[in-house]
Structure 1
Amino acid sequence: MKRLIFATHNTGKVKEMRSILSGLGVEVLSAEEAGIFEDVIEDGKTFEENALKKAKFIADKTGEWAVADDSGLCIEALDGAPGIHSARWAGGFDLVEYTLAKMKDILDIKRSAYFKSVAALYASDGRHWFFRGVIRGRISLEASGVNRPKLPYDLIFIPDGYDRTFAGMSDIEKNSLSHRGLAFSQLKNFIADMIKNEF
């Protein structure tokens, strides 16, 4: 594998993937850099289905290896919501305000939640693999920290063992703990082994 196309239009994610895979000799391209401008409708029932659908779409269009991820926040007191609907859950409302309003009557000890990320690697010949990352924590009583673009839940998620939200952490600290970082680290190890064994 010489090139890997990341099925995203999010330049921040592409930058993160390039950093993670640096040193492996694999060129990481965004969907746009590969000439793909369409969005894939994420209508799967699981994170795995959505990630696989996006990676397969790019691999089928280009004939090259592709990777995609899907992730979300799962709140146990809300039966796992928002889950795969994390980006669209609040309709036109602010995601943080909507989530805190849903949680207003839930005691601190019942505010358990977790972030889950699934990365799907899709080979040009149709083989595919999944890499998963989960970070457990709780929903805070109020938003705090610095709002990162497209990561609103960071303002209200406190990982287990910490007393501040993801948004209250530096990028380096947060990425070392994050669900996406865990999934991408597994992906990196898999690709490194694959290159080493000429798989």
Structure 2
Amino acid sequence: MFKELVVATHNQGKVEEFKTLMQGLPLEIKYLADFEPVEEPVENGRTFAANARLKATYYAKKLGKVCIADDSGLEVQALDGAPGVRSARYAGEKATDEENNNLLLHNMKFQVKRTCRFRCALCVVQPDGKVLNEVDGICEGMLLHAPLGEEGFGYDPLFWSTELHKGMGEASMQEKNKISHRGKAIRKLMAIWGKKK
């Protein structure tokens, strides 16, 4: 088992979640902010899994370290799975969370069926490009008609969790991590690693 793992993300919200969810692992966990900046890869995969693999492979080779990358987003049933892999860039390449949320609410204005899910794909890759692990996690819910709560990031304010019976934007980090797509994926990964120790 490797001793050091780099979480390949610049998203501060994700960094905080990884820090909490991976507490207690016998690994030194580092983040992209701990290294000299490298150009970001083009995320042109058609699935979350493809993008996670692309990012993990890219950063593992660039940094010469074992890297874990996540690709995640929101899939809305009434929009045929959109925003999907375009979740972070739904309203444009440099879109803010607020701009993405506003566009989604606009596109869903006349929709009665509001079933949606958060999906996360995680991939762990060695510096030589070998994929060590790939897992995913899903969190089911409903899309709200307006933002709710001040917690979380991304589409959290628009997501009603059917597991928590509250808005994701109202949930504490602890509550969210128990049921979130990323929490589920990381726990799957840790269960696999537990078997490999």
Scaled by the length of structure 1, what TM-score is found? 0.87
Change (3 A) 1:189 1:161: closer
Match status 1:137 vs 2:167: no
Percent identity (aligned): 36
Match status 1:184 vs 2:186: yes
2:73 & 2:32 partners in 1: Cα distance? 21
Scaled by the length of structure 2, what TM-score is found? 0.88
Give the root-mean-square deviation of aligned CA atoms: 1.9
SS at match of 1:86: helix
Deviation at 1:82, TM superposition (A): 0.3
* 1:61-119 per-position Cα deviation (integer Å, ceiling 9, x unaligned): 23321100000000000000000000111235712221111111111xx1100000000
Which stretch shifts more, 159-168 or 182-191?
159-168
Runs of at least 5 residues in structure 1 that lack an aligned partner in the other structure: none
Deviation at 1:15, TM superposition (A): 4.0
1:169 & 1:147 partners in 2: Cα distance? 7
Deviation at 1:36, TM superposition (A): 4.5
The residue number in structure 1 matching 2:52 is 51
Name the larger-Rg structure.
1
2:163 & 2:67 partners in 1: Cα distance? 35
How many residues align? The count is 191
- The AA in structure 1 aligned to 2:109 is K
1:120 & 1:161 partners in 2: Cα distance? 26
- The AA in structure 1 aligned to 2:171 is M
| Conserved? CA contact 2:151–2:172, under 8 Å | no
Deviation at 1:51, TM superposition (A): 0.6
The residue number in structure 1 matching 2:159 is 157
The residue number in structure 1 matching 2:3 is 2
Runs of at least 5 residues in structure 2 that lack an aligned partner in the other structure: none
Moved over 6 A (4+): none
Deviation at 1:12, TM superposition (A): 4.2
| Conserved? CA contact 1:117–1:134, under 8 Å | yes
